[in-house]
């Protein structure tokens, strides 16, 4: 789960990482009141989960209340790379002498946390990484030992940090690592880390991604989830315990097991079709899960045909067939379905479907056959 800048900074503050003070605002009036409280000059910052806000005009300095109002009006509701600005962060203005970059990422390939530090902050770090990779000092942390002070010093020296800042930057990195571990983050990134004229170190920005699997023991963080962030169908699926990802096409897909569903999307694409979604009904798909899945898939108006691809292991094909009959009774879908049932109790499942004789439901014997049929149906061809 990604956090907004200010949510990340509040997390940092809990772990004693120095951040400029600020107040979140959802309306223009709230923004002006916040700015008055913080004092001028202050910065009005769009809160969206995407980089490049500054270039898009989403970060502005206000010298007085009129400017704060003007900026808040302009930025609230602004579209930044497809993300609408619903929230602002009004922050005290910082004096900047230098801009650094610091990040810790969960590096699955190396099976360790990767700590990164660079004096080339404030700009696109991917560009720095591509053009001058030596400008970024990196180090993997032993997961059982944790981040050691000598490692922080080594990184700081390697990055070419000024001598008087070696210790403060080391402390900063140590606290960032503490945050990464304590909050169970997959990424904590600060770009820029600023050095003030008084030679103080501060986090001027934050990018934090948390591990969804660990949210059960971080209630405060779990509460930061914003339902308005999500696509309505994805939200509906989450509420019903299904794994659903919306795609651009017109063929609804349901399967059991993530790998099989991914494979089904690929096979449909190979037959010239375009999947409308990924939906994993889970390892032990029961009848009510199937009903929910049909409702979620068909709530996407672009869907012209639906493919059910089930290979029963724990999942029983007769349960899936009964679920489909219930779904047809309650949701009354108006698009054709192609159903392929294989695996546990497949004979029973196919018989239940044949006996029910549901309108617009076609069966297929293999995955390829099913894909071919659903693609034809989505194109309006008859079988």
Partner 1 sequence: MSVLVGTDTRLCVSGITGSEGSFHSLNNRAYGTNVVSGVTPGKGGQDVDGIPVFNTFHAAVEASEANTAMIFVPPPFAADSILEAADAGIGTIIAITEGIPAHEELRVYTQIKRMPGVRLIGPNCPGVLSPGKANVGIIPASFFKEGNVGVMSRSGTLTYQIGNELAQKGFGNSSIVGLGGDPIPGTSFVDVLELFENDDQTELIVMSGEIGGDAEEVAAEYIAEHVTKPVVGYIAGFTAPPGKTMGHAGAIVSGSKGTAAAKAEALEAKGVRVGRTPTQVAEIAIEILGG
Indicate the residue among 28 and 185 with the shorter CB distance to partner 1: 185
- Is residue 222 involved in binding partner 1 (CB under 8 A)? no
Per CB under 8 A, 220 contacts partner 1: no
Under the binding rule (CB under 8 A), the answer on residue 347 touching partner 1 is no
- CB count within 10 Å of CB 88 equals 29
Residue 178 designated active-site: no
Other residues' Cβ atoms within 10 Å of the Cβ of residue 175: 16
Kindly tell me which residue out of 216, 223, 380, 381 binds partner 1, with binding defined by CB under 8 A.
Answer: 216
Question: Whole-angstrom Cα distance, residue 139 to residue 134?
Answer: 13
Torsion of CA 296, 302, 306, 311, to 10 degrees: -60
Residue with Cβ nearer partner 1 (146 or 359): 146
336 binds partner 1, rule: CB under 8 A: no
The token pair that represents 326 in the structure block: 């219930």
What one-character-per-residue DSSP string does 12-43 give? HHHTT-----EEEESSHHHHHHHHHHH-SSEE
By CB under 8 A, tell whether 219 contacts partner 1: no
> Do residues 307 and 362 lie in contact, with contact meaning Cβ atoms separated by under 8 Å?
no
Return the residues of window 100-129 that contact partner 1 according to CB under 8 A. Answer: 106, 108-109, 111-112
* Tokens representing residue 139 in the block: 């180090």
Q: Which of 124, 142, 162, 239 binds partner 1 (CB under 8 A)?
A: 142
Residue that the structure tokens 């983050």 belong to: 185
Instruction: Compute the least distance from the CB of residue 278 to partner 1, in Å.
Output: 6
Alpha carbon distance 319, 282 (integer Å): 13
359 binds partner 1 (CB under 8 A): no
Q: Shortest approach of partner 1 to residue 184 CB, angstroms?
A: 5
**Least distance to partner 1 from the beta carbon of 205, Å?**
20
Kindly tell me which of 65 and 258 has the beta carbon lying closer to partner 1.
258
Q: Is residue 184 involved in binding partner 1 (CB under 8 A)? A: yes
> Which three-class secondary structure state does DSSP give residue 151?
helix
User: Closest separation between CB of residue 3 and partner 1, Å?
Assistant: 16
What is the radius of gyration, based on Cα positions, of the chain? 26
Q: Angle, nearest 10°, between helix axes 28-38 and 65-75? A: 140
* Residues with catalytic roles: 101, 189
**Which residues sit at the interface with partner 1, rule CB under 8 A?**
106, 108-109, 111-112, 142-144, 181, 184, 186, 211-214, 216-217, 243, 245, 247, 255-263, 265-270, 275, 278, 280, 283, 311-315, 342-344, 366-368
């Amino acid at each position: 789960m990604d956090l907004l800048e200010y949510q990340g900074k509040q997390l940092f503050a809990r772990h004693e990482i120095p951040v400029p003070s600020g107040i979140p605002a959802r309306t223009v009036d709230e923004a002006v009141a916040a700015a008055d409280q913080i004092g001028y000059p202050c910065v009005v910052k769009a809160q969206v989960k995407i980089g490049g806000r500054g270039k898009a005009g989403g970060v502005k300095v206000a010298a007085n209340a009129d400017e704060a109002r003007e900026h808040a009006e302009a930025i609230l509701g602004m579209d930044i790379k497809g993300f609408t600005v619903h929230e602002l962060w009004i922050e005290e203005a910082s004096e900047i002498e230098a801009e650094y970059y610091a990040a810790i990422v969960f590096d699955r390939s190396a099976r360790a946390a990767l700590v990164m530090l660079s004096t080339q902050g404030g700009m696109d770090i991917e560009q720095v990484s591509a053009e001058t990779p030596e400008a970024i000092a990196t180090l993997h942390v032993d997961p059982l030992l944790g981040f050691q002070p000598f490692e922080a010093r080594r990184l700081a020296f390697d990055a070419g940090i000024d001598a008087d800042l070696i210790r403060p930057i080391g402390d900063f990195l140590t606290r960032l690592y503490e945050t990464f571990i304590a909050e169970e983050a997959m990424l904590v990134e600060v770009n820029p880390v600023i050095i003030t004229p008084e030679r103080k170190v501060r986090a001027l920005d934050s990018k934090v991604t948390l591990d969804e699997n660990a949210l059960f023991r971080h209630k405060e963080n779990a509460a930061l989830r914003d339902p308005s962030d999500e696509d309505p169908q994805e939200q509906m699926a989450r509420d019903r315990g299904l794994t659903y990802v919306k795609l651009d096409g017109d063929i609804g897909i349901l399967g059991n097991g993530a790998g099989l569903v991914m494979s089904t999307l690929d096979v449909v694409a190979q037959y010239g079709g375009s999947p409308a979604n990924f939906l994993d009904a889970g390892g032990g798909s029961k009848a009510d899960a199937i009903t929910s899945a049909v409702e979620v898939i068909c709530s996407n108006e672009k869907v012209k045909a639906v493919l059910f691809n089930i290979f029963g292991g724990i999942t029983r094909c007769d349960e899936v067939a009964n679920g489909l009959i219930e779904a047809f009774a309650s949701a009354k879908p108006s698009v054709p379905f192609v159903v392929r049932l294989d695996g546990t109790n497949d004979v029973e499942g196919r018989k239940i479907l044949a006996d029910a004789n549901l309108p617009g439901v076609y069966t297929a014997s293999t995955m390829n056959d099913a894909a071919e049929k659903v693609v034809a149906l989505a194109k309006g061809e008859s079988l």
